[in-house]
Amino acid sequence: MAQERTPLVSVRGVSKHYGEGAARVDALKGVSIDIFPREVVALLGPSGSGKTTLLNVIGCIIDPSGGALDLDGERVFDNGKWLRDDLRRLRLEKIGFIFQAHNLLPFLDATDNVAVALELAGHSQSAARRRAVELLDYLEIGHRRDAMPAKLSGGEAQRVAIARALANSPRIILADEPTAALDSKRAQIVMELLRKLAAEQDASIIAVTHDEKIFGYFDRVCHLRDGVIEEETRVAPAGQSV
Amino acid sequence: MNLAWREIRHNSGRFVFTGVGLGLLLGVVLSMIGIYRGMVVDALTIARTPDVDLWVVEANSRGPFAESSRIPGDTREAVARMPGVTAAGSVTYQSVEATAGGRKMRLYVIGYEPGRPGGPAEIIVGRGLGRSHFEIVADRSSKLVPGDVVTFGRDRYTVVGLTAYHVSSGGDPAAFVTLRDAQQFQAELDPAAVRLQAARGAGSGSIDTVSAVIARLAPAASVEAVAAGIARWKHLSAIAQADQEAILTGSHIDRARRQIGLFTGLLLAVSAVVIALIIYTMTMEKLKQIATLKLIGAPDRTITAMIVQQALALGLIGFFMGWALIVAIKDIFPRRIVLDTDNVTQLGIVIVAVCLLASGLGVRAALKVDPATALGG
Ligand SMILES: Nc1ncnc2c1ncn2[C@@H]1O[C@H](COP(=O)(O)OP(=O)(O)OP(=O)(O)O)[C@@H](O)[C@H]1O
Ligand SMILES: [Mg+2]
């Protein structure tokens, strides 16, 4: 049934190499993958297999060397160049990032780190703060909402970063090891939240993970090795809660 | 929310520290400007004090400030009789080494005739000269107070009043005495001049010479016409007030003025480089945060505003701190510091321009940074 719809993310034969000549590293060698709305997909693979690179290509952060990329039914990369010049606007509206490192702005407290993404999208200051507090409460980090990032534990900072990624209800959520810094209870909360978001917002979630405890939350697991997708495992029927 | 302000607040200690440093630097720039202006204003004050239109001096001399000038004392009566002249006064100017309470000091002694042009513009403490001998009105920069006794030549003078901002172009405090007193000690200090005067046939032992005669004209009178009339007398020439001021600023203190002017220019250039470096470094340290902002979708406008606002804030904090510093300490400088609003405003504009230019460099770097830099994990 998912296949009948347009994929939210469509990667077509994307390759990416870093450097030239002897220093050349082929991080992606012709990767193709379609991810549909409401799908929660895991990227798995050994270190250096190209997971982060693939995620960043989908997030329009790094330029692919070849291939094509469609987001939400729109071709955004083809023939070696981006077809939109406002990639940041695209990211602001459609893509939420959960980084491997939390990347919170050190000079803003937890609430404002979330609110800044909302204000950038055009929300008023008070509305942004209100929604930010809601999100933080939702991620059970509301009690730390006035803390500066330097005063947060790794897990707390990660949850604030997740709140920021979810702030503008993006339809594509990219997460690089989102639960690495969390205990298993919190990891499950985050995954449940992501699943719920996928279902309610018609969103796609793509997460790099090594965390076996959360495999059960994914619809599909894609195994990468040396820059190609080696195999795909369908864990649970798409759109169905575990 | 204002990201620039939030970041400043987060690093407020460091920001204030940088601002104070910059304030000290800009304070030095301002003080140089003030010294420069003070020098010009000081030179002009002495010439403007008598509030006259014409300076009658020795023929072919540019006196009495830039060159020495000596003319007969009876010149004043002749000048006063000229049509268009409403008041005239004889004046002498001479630097002397004086002693007061065991302290040696240089004074710029101005002799004038009380009741005629040439006296101090305003007495701030005490009173002006009476008709009596051996009284003196000194500038307060001499640190004298009324009642002090000052000795120069063979005579002892009593301070009766103080003026402000009357100094020679070299910075020596002015001291007003009556013309007769001035002529008296001039003769004592320089007997040769008296002999010369006698040889010219001005009467044996005459001490009746003055440096200049200054004249005030009726509003309708033409300065040129009166000056031309005076120039017909053999031993005299006449200098209009505007020309006297031009001589003072244009030639008399010209070299010192250019010296300080050049130094001020250099100091400004150094400050500009320092400001540029500070702002550039401030931005470079934030590149990762800027990359994060780009990653979550902040437009260039947001990032540019953050950098430019911080640069301006820093520049203005430095500027106002420097200004406050100079206003607070300007009176302890041995010479006058004059800060016109004009000059201060101009410096402010220069600082703002430098900040904008410097933040341009930072903005360029920030806009070039790859959002992927933020990932780095
Ligand atoms: N900026 C870069 N410049 C050069 N080579 C790079 C760069 N980023 C990644 N690579 C190389 O590309 C390959 C894929 O890297 P990538 O970060 O995608 O791997 P990964 O699967 O995310 O690994 P890990 O599990 O360790 O995070 C690696 O060999 C890596 O060394
Ligand atoms: Mg990685």
Q: How many domains does chain B have?
A: 2
The reply to whether B300 and B241 lie within a common domain is no
Residue B116 pLDDT: 85
The reply to whether B234 and B259 lie within a common domain is no
The reply to whether ipTM tops 0.90 is no
pLDDT tens, residue by residue, A58-112? 999 889 999 999 999 999 999 899 999 888 888 888 998 887 667 899 999 999 9
Beta pairing, strands A66-71 & A74-78: antiparallel
Between A and B, how many CB-CB pairs are < 8 A? 74
pLDDT tens, residue by residue, A166-192? 888 899 999 888 887 778 887 887 888
- Grouping H, G, I as helix, E, B as strand and the rest as coil, residue B72 is strand
Percent over 70 (pLDDT), chain A? 95
Among B222, B252, B282, the domain-final residue is B252
Spell out the SS3 assignment of B263-307. HHHHHHHHHHHHHHHHHHHHHHCCHHHHHHHHHCCCCHHHHHHHH
- What's the distance, CA B19 to chain centroid? 28
pLDDT tens, residue by residue, B139-194? 988 888 888 888 887 788 888 989 988 888 888 899 999 888 888 877 777 666 65
pLDDT tens, residue by residue, B66-100? 787 888 888 888 888 888 888 888 899 888 888 88
Question: Chain B residues with CB inside 8 Å of A93's CB?
Answer: 297
Half-sphere exposure of B254 (CA within 13 A, CB side): 8
The reply to whether B341 and B207 lie within a common domain is no
The reply to whether B145 and B238 lie within a common domain is yes
pLDDT tens, residue by residue, B23-56? 999 999 999 888 888 888 888 888 888 888 888 8
Select from A17, A47, A52, A210 the residue to mutate for testing ligand 1; criterion: most ligand atoms less than 8 Å from CB.
A52
Among B252, B269, B294, the domain-final residue is B252
Select from A17, A26, A53 the residue to mutate for testing ligand 1; criterion: most ligand atoms less than 8 Å from CB.
A53
Ligand number nearest CA of A53 is 1
Residue B204 pLDDT: 44
The reply to whether B145 and B77 lie within a common domain is yes
Determine which of A60, A61, A92 to mutate to test the interface with B (most B C-beta atoms within 10 Å).
A61
The reply to whether B259 and B132 lie within a common domain is no
Which two three-digit tokens encode residue A82? Answer: 């981006």
Shortest distance, CA B316 to any CA of chain A (angstroms): 22
The reply to whether B152 and B262 lie within a common domain is no
Contacts of B137 (CB under 8 A, 6+ apart): B120, B123, B126, B128, B129, B159, B160, B161, B162, B163, B175, B176, B177
The reply to whether B235 and B288 lie within a common domain is no
Look at B295 and A61 and tell me if their CB atoms are within 8 Å.
yes
Interval B306-327 mean pLDDT: 92
Residue B219 pLDDT: 86
What pTM does this model have?
A: 0.77
Domains and CATH numbers, chain A: 2-234 (3.40.50.300)
Q: How confident is the model at residue B206 (pLDDT cuts 50, 70, 90)?
A: low
The reply to whether B213 and B110 lie within a common domain is yes
Cα-only R_g, chain A: 18
User: Which domain range does residue B329 map to?
Assistant: 3-43+254-375
Chain A, residues 69-88, CB within 8 A of chain B, namely: 88
Question: Chain B residues with CB inside 8 Å of A112's CB?
Answer: 1, 6
Among B202, B224, B252, the domain-final residue is B252
The reply to whether B186 and B323 lie within a common domain is no
Interval A189-211 mean pLDDT: 86
Residue A239 pLDDT: 45
Instruction: Give me ligand 1 centre to Cα A174, in Å.
Output: 17
Pairwise CA distance, residues A59 & A61, whole Å: 5
By C-alpha distance, which of A87, A12, A118 is closest to B370?
A87
pLDDT tens, residue by residue, B354-369? 899 888 989 999 999 8
User: What is the phi-psi region of residue B10: left when phi exceeds 0, alpha when psi lies from -120 to 50, beta otherwise?
Assistant: alpha
The reply to whether B186 and B236 lie within a common domain is yes
Residue A49 Cβ inside 6 Å of ligand 1? The answer reads: yes
Residue A31 Cβ inside 6 Å of ligand 1? The answer reads: no
The mean of the pLDDT values for chain B is 85
B7 → closest Cβ in A52, A61, A107? A107
The reply to whether B56 and B200 lie within a common domain is yes
Look at A101 and B293 and tell me if their CB atoms are within 8 Å.
no
